[in-house]
Amino acid sequence: MKSLKDVESENAVVVKEITGGLDIKQHLEELGVKEEVELTVVATEPVHVHAGPISLVIRDRELIIASGWADKVYVEVYWDVLPFLRLEAGDKGTIRSIKGGKDFKGFLSELGIAEGSELTFLRHVPDRTIVFAVGSRSTEVRMGEGQASKLIVTVDGKSVQANYLKDGETATVERIIGGTHLVEKFGRIGIDQGVDLTLLRREAHAPDCTKGTYVLARVGEQLITIGHGLAEKLLVE
């Protein structure tokens, strides 16, 4: 057996084992991938020179979503239904399906992302770390742009994703877009509803080409994307 990332294009394989925890298996199953499923590798491609979150416009509002969420969204563009990660800057389309459970679809709907919504793909966001000061103690915490996008904060009476704050700007956490696990994870670093956050700085770092690739595969009639990290955990023959 070998991992999916090592399968060459235009080869059909059968999934024999998925290594990793329940979350990984559930994520893949939502894409239609589980043990004994046959899939065909279409290509292994770079997501972008900068791997990272996705910037889009929906209902005249600019949003950022993590790439791990974006790979479950399928959009009709020019009569083709494509994984969201296949779009390029300026592409416009309509969301035709979201691969994920009821909770996941609910998280996206809080951002206005739902089946039937029209959107414009803006760009891949540079892979960078955002540093916040949390609460009155000004404890510093660091997180990626995708994670920060799941924090909805209030500043000047408006609700925005935390990654849209300006350097030195302070806002109050309104809600966290995500499940219990994510809420608990933020809670451990002191980020809860009602806490003040101050954006201190953004730290850019060199892109990682390995993390910036994904496997494009076909399962039945569905075209799906599987990130490099997940592809390593899929053993096929």
**Is 124 in contact with 47 (CB distance < 8 Å)?**
yes
Q: Give the number of other Cβ atoms within 10 Å of residue 231's Cβ.
A: 21
pLDDT of residue 205: 65
pLDDT for res 170: 94
**What does CATH list as the number for 2-47+209-236?**
2.30.30.90
pLDDT of residue 208: 55
**Tokens 């990626």 map to which residue?**
144
Q: Quote the tokens at residue 91.
A: 């592409």
Tell me, what DSSP letter sits at residue 135? Answer: T
Query: Within 10 A of 168 (CB to CB), how many other CB atoms are there?
Result: 10
Q: What is the rounded distance in angstroms from the CA atom of residue 5 to the CA atom of residue 32?
A: 17
Angle (CA) 69 73 75, round 5°? 150
Whole-number Cα distances in Å, 9 to 4, 87, 167 = 11, 20, 44
pLDDT of 211? 56
pLDDT values of the chain reduced to their tens digit, one per residue, 237 residues: 888 988 888 889 999 999 877 778 877 887 888 889 999 988 887 665 545 788 999 988 999 998 778 878 889 888 888 888 778 889 999 999 888 778 888 889 988 999 999 999 998 887 688 999 998 777 889 998 889 999 999 999 999 999 999 999 999 999 999 888 889 999 999 999 999 999 999 987 655 555 567 788 888 877 788 877 788 888 989
Whole-number Å distance between alpha carbons of 214 and 61: 28
- pLDDT value of position 50: 45
Q: How far apart are CA 26 and CA 24, in angstroms?
A: 5
Q: Do residues 57 and 125 make contact, with C-beta atoms less than 8 angstroms apart?
A: no
The dihedral over CA atoms of 20, 130, 108, 22, expressed in degrees to the nearest 10, equals 10
Residue 83 has which token pair? 């994984």
Per-domain boundaries in the chain = 2-47+209-236, 54-124, 128-204
Tell me, what's the pLDDT at 119?
Answer: 93
Tell me the backbone φ, ψ of residue 23, rounded to 5 degrees.
-60, -40
How confident is the model over 186-199, as pLDDT tens digits?
A: 999 999 999 999 99
